[in-house]
Amino acid sequence: MPSRGEAVVQWDRSAWERGRVLAGLAVVTAGLLAFHRAVPNSVGHLGSLLEQFLPWLGLMVVVLFVLALLRRSAIALVTLLLPVAAWTYLCGGLLLPGAARGAHDLVVVQHNVSDENADPAGTARSLADAGPDLIALEEVLPAALPVYEKTLAPRYPHRAVRGTVGLWSKHPLTGSRTVDIKPREISDSWQRGLRAVAHTPHGDIAVYVAHLPSVRLGASGLGSTWRDESAGKLGRVIAAESVKQVILMGDLNSTVDDRGLAPLTSRLNTAQRGFAFSFPASFPVARIDQVMARSATVTHIRTLPGTGSDHLPVAARIAPGQG
């Protein structure tokens, strides 16, 4: 019969031998987090699909941690430090509290109000109650537009509307025009982008509002070709923008990690703090409603209470003249 000391040594050795499969899964999870750009997009846009849900790989780490404890696997527990480090690097900063609002910060609200929204007046009041400087809306139907205009006008006298997207502002707007982001294969009338210059106390800001095409998940993978094309067209327009400060708000039908938005994220900075998962409103799993900026910093983003839409509104603080 082995002595107690021999039994302890035997257990310690076995702890480093058990759970090798769990350790392997931890390495794979870390690899997906750290090298997600290496996942090819050539088949079914698998890379973009993974990047839609990168923060949720943190749940995989939690599951592996529990299994490693139950398995009493030292090697799995140590290996889990790899995905923990990768997740923290990618997403940890978003968990930190945002700094207090600065005296020169702008507040903006972005919301896809839904073309099936039965209460546009209530939605408009809810957004205005957040007190933003700018409000960007998508899926504004012609029948609902007068309701939004009437409800928002007392506090937001300046507006620009093109097709189904609109911008309401406390500050004067000039230079309003349509931005062509329509994919080549769409032949119908399709106006889902606008640009206007907001004359704020902190300088002129070119404000873009956009609603990129939807993506579809099917047997062949993620259908995002139209969205990617539309993002490319919008990125080229923003690159040519002569006004130094730029704010982009919109339903971009993608997360900022998705390489499909690279034409935008390579030119604009995104929120430094806050996850603000906005879709679907009933159980948000991703933020596809975005606020980005150039020569300004998006310091924090958060969701607002639900409206009659299948999206949650998001509110962001922006520090002009930074970034």
pLDDT per residue over 1-27, tens digit each?
555 555 444 556 677 878 999 999 999
Q: Over pLDDT 70: what percentage of the chain?
A: 93
CATH 3.60.10.10 residue spans of the chain:
106-320
Residue appearing with tokens 């290996």: 79
Return the CATH architecture of domain 106-320. 4-Layer Sandwich (3.60)
Residue in the structure block whose two tokens are 């207090």: 100
Please state the pTM of the whole predicted model: 0.90
Q: At what angle do helices 145-152 and 120-128 cross, to 10 degrees?
A: 30
Lowest mean pLDDT, pick from 91-95, 156-160, 180-184, 207-211: 91-95
Q: Up-side HSE of residue 239: CA atoms within 13 Å toward CB?
A: 12
Report pLDDT for 7: 47
Give the three-state DSSP class for 282: coil
Measured CA to CA, the distance from residue 26 to residue 82 in angstroms comes to: 7
Distances (CA, A) of 312 to 50, 101, 121: 22, 22, 16
* Segments of the chain assigned E as strands: 106-112, 134-138, 158-162, 165-169, 173-178, 193-200, 203-211, 216-218, 221-223, 245-251, 289-294, 296-303, 314-320
Measured CA distances, 25 to 80, 81, 89, 170 (Å) = 9, 12, 19, 52
Average pLDDT over residues 57-79: 94
SS3 317: strand
**Rounded distance between C-alpha atoms, residue 199 and residue 171, angstroms:** 6
The backbone torsions φ and ψ at residue 220, rounded to the nearest 5 degrees and listed phi first, read -90, 0
Please report the pLDDT score of residue 94 as a whole number: 87
Cα 226 to Cα 257: distance, rounded to the nearest angstrom: 18
Query: How many Å apart are CA 312 and CA 296, to the nearest integer?
Result: 24
Q: Are 113 and 139 in contact (CB under 8 A)?
A: yes
Residue-wise pLDDT for 84-122, tens only, equals 999 999 999 888 876 666 666 999 999 999 999 999 999
Per DSSP bridges, beta strands 173-178 and 193-200 are antiparallel
Residue 71's alpha-carbon distances to 21, 23, 208, in angstroms, are 11, 11, 53
Instruction: Phi first, then psi: give them for residue 223, nearest 5 degrees.
Output: -90, 95
Using CA atoms in the order 113, 114, 116, 117, what is the torsion angle rounded to 10 degrees? Answer: -10
Tell me which residue of 291, 295, 294 sits closest to 303, measured CA to CA. 291
- How many CA atoms does the CB half-sphere of 50 hold within 13 Å? 19
Q: What is the pLDDT of residue 9?
A: 47
pLDDT of 292 reads 98
- Tell me what the mean pLDDT of segment 299-315 comes to: 97
Alpha-carbon distance 296 to 203, whole Å? 11
User: Exposed, middle or buried: residue 210 (CB in 10 Å: 0-12, 13-18, 19+)?
Assistant: buried
Length of the chain: 323
pLDDT number for residue 36: 95
Mean pLDDT of the chain: 92
